[in-house]
């Protein structure tokens, strides 16, 4: 019987006209690929709470979570996830990443970065919801 996917939240975090991408560090599964920052939803936590907590812990950013943009279910060899994207805003572009490199990019530039497979599928699904191609 197939295991239920683990809920993972991802923030499409805007500061002005740019959004934040995060590159997985060396030694991580999927090292070197880019993703929308976030993490696993812990028991007893809402998705929005998990996203705020993960971004504060991993990047030192306080964010305002807005609407849910979409989700994809993806099975990697090492984990089965449901990746859920939320639009979020921050006024601060100073990222203190403890987990790898970060970059603020224009939405039109996202596809120039090698996204992880789940994030790539998610981006294809949500970019229209953002009104961007």
What digits encode the pLDDT tens for the residues 21-39?
Answer: 999 888 777 788 999 999 9
Per-residue confidence at 52, pLDDT binned at 50, 70, 90?
very high
Structure-block tokens of residue 108: 């039109």
pLDDT over 80 (residue 98)? no
Question: 6-129 belongs to which homologous superfamily?
Answer: Nucleoside Triphosphate Pyrophosphohydrolase (3.90.79.10)
Structure-block tokens of residue 42: 């812990």
In 3-state terms, what secondary structure has residue 40?
strand
In 3-state terms, what secondary structure has residue 48?
helix
The radius of gyration of the chain from alpha carbons, rounded to an integer in Å, stands at: 14
Domains of the chain, by residue range, sit at: 6-129
What tens digit of pLDDT does each residue of 69-83 get? 999 999 998 889 999
Is the model's pTM score more than 0.95?
A: no
pLDDT over 50 (residue 133)? no
The per-residue pLDDT for 2 is 61
């Amino acid at each position: 019987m197939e295991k239920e996917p683990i809920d993972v939240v991802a923030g499409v975090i805007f500061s002005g006209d740019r959004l934040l991408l995060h590159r997985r560090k060396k030694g991580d599964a999927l090292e070197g690929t880019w993703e929308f920052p976030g993490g696993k939803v812990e028991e007893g936590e809402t998705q929005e709470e998990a996203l705020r907590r993960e971004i504060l812990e991993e990047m030192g950013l306080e964010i305002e979570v807005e609407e849910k943009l979409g989700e994809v279910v993806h099975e990697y060899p090492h984990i089965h996830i449901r990746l859920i994207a939320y639009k979020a805003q921050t006024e601060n572009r100073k990222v203190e990443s403890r987990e790898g490199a970060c970059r603020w990019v224009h939405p039109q530039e996202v596809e120039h970065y090698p996204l992880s497979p789940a994030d790539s599928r998610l981006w294809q699904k949500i970019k229209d919801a953002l009104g961007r191609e």
